[in-house]
Amino acid sequence: MPAAATKTHKPKKLSEKKAERLRTILAALDMLYPNVTCALHHGNAWELLVATILSAQCTDERVNKVTPDLFRKYPSIRAFANVPQAELAQDIHSTGFFNNKSKSIIGAANKLLNEFNGEIPRDIDQLLTVPGAARKTANVVLGTAFGIASGVVVDTHVQRICQRLELTKESDPVKIERDLMAILPQDRWISFSHQVIHFGRNICVARKPKCAECPLQTICRAPDKTVP
Ligand code: SF4
């Protein structure tokens, strides 16, 4: 497991060459995306947890189409806890994997009501005990809703781009997160993921990345780079 976040977290010392490379990457991301945040619409931490559960194997755009009606119909954690699972599954049908997602959401609502006074816990170890809140989801909720840098969100974009930019050699998200937590300053953990996710959607896309418009093309040695 990645190391727990502490106020005393210090990034590991990199060689000057690697440190310079990392500075270049962070500067390019800041230049491209100075004010990014989570693309999932939400009004509070609970809604963000629901939206993040729904976003598994689904686009944020699709989730953002479903959640306004969903949060109108179920305006509280208790309302989600009381809905029959088949009905919730129907409500979220278009996001895919609706049976598992509806079970997770109802399970999360009950867990929060029964064990956390109806509040989202602000501690990652506690949040990880809530159904549907695996590490990526927990990091999204803590980082975006509370500004708590509990770890680095590793989704498919972060995974691909950190491999292309040689920030990790790992393919397992937990190990990638551990590598990123080791080299990034903790005050970059939240923004880094948001920036890389935008970068992965707009420029460093999975197939045929748009390298001609990428500010990192001079330092990138990815085998699937599309410019020399
Ligand atoms: S040069 Fe291409 S592959 Fe490398 S980071 Fe930029 S877009 Fe991605």
Residue of 165, 207, 208, 218 to test ligand 1 pocket, by largest number of atoms within 8 Å of CB? 165
Of 98, 120, 146, the position where a domain reaches its end is 146
Residue 1 lies in a domain: no
Of 93, 123, 146, the position where a domain reaches its end is 146
pLDDT attached to residue 1: 43
What CATH number does the domain containing 131 carry? 1.10.340.30
Residues 53 and 102 in one domain: yes
Q: What is the pLDDT of residues 134-179, one digit of tens each?
A: 999 999 999 999 999 999 999 999 999 999 999 999 999 999 999 9
pLDDT attached to residue 5: 47
Least confident of 3-7, 170-174, 192-196: 3-7
How many Cα atoms sit within 13 Å of 181 on the Cβ side? 22
pLDDT attached to residue 228: 87
Structural domains counted in the chain: 2
- In Å, how far are 2, 6, 46, 181 from 17, measured between CA atoms? 25, 27, 42, 19
Residues 57 and 122 in one domain: yes
Ligand 1 atom nearest the C-alpha of 226 is: 2
Range of the domain at 118: 45-146
With a cut of 60, say whether residue 7 has pLDDT above it: no
Residues 49 and 142 in one domain: yes
pLDDT attached to residue 4: 45
**Ligand 1, atom 8, residue with closest C-alpha:** 204
Do residues 95 and 101 touch, judged by C-beta distance below 8 A?
Answer: yes
> Cα of 167 to ligand 1 centre, how many Å?
13
Residues 119 and 164 in one domain: no
Ligand 1 atom nearest the C-alpha of 225 is: 3
Residues 66 and 142 in one domain: yes
Residues 31 and 106 in one domain: no
Confidence of residue 2 (pLDDT cuts 50, 70, 90): very low
Residue 107 lies in a domain: yes
Ligand 1 atom nearest the C-alpha of 224 is: 3
Structure tokens at 152: 């680095």
Residue 224 lies in a domain: no
Residue 222 lies in a domain: no
Residues 78 and 32 in one domain: no
- Per the listing, tokens 């990199």 go with 14
Q: What is the pLDDT of residues 80-134, one digit of tens each?
A: 999 999 999 999 999 999 999 999 999 999 999 999 999 999 999 999 999 999 9
Residue 3 lies in a domain: no
Which of residues 68 and 13 earns the better pLDDT score? 68
pLDDT attached to residue 8: 60
Q: Which residues line ligand 1 (CB under 6 A)?
A: 164-165, 203-204, 209-211, 214, 216-217, 220, 222, 225
- Mean pLDDT to the nearest integer, 39-55: 97
What CATH number does the domain containing 173 carry? 1.10.1670.10
- Per the listing, tokens 């707009």 go with 202
With a cut of 90, say whether residue 16 has pLDDT above it: yes
CA distance 155 to 4: 19
Residue 8 lies in a domain: no
Residue 171 lies in a domain: yes
Confidence of residue 9 (pLDDT cuts 50, 70, 90): confident
Residues 123 and 52 in one domain: yes
DSSP characters over the chain: -PPPP-TT--PPPPPHHHHHHHHHHHHHHHHH-TT----S--SSHHHHHHHHHHTTTS-HHHHHHHHHHHHHH--SHHHHHHS-HHHHHHHTGGGS-HHHHHHHHHHHHHHHHHHSTTS--SSHHHHTTSTT--HHHHHHHHHHHH----S----HHHHHHHHHTTS----SHHHHHHHHHHHS-GGGHHHHHHHHHHHHHHTS-SSS--GGG-TTTTT---TT-S--
pLDDT attached to residue 108: 98
C-alpha of 58 from chain center: 13
Residues 107 and 133 in one domain: yes
Catalytic residue IDs: 136, 155
Residue 28 lies in a domain: yes
Of 90, 120, 146, the position where a domain reaches its end is 146
Residues 61 and 137 in one domain: yes
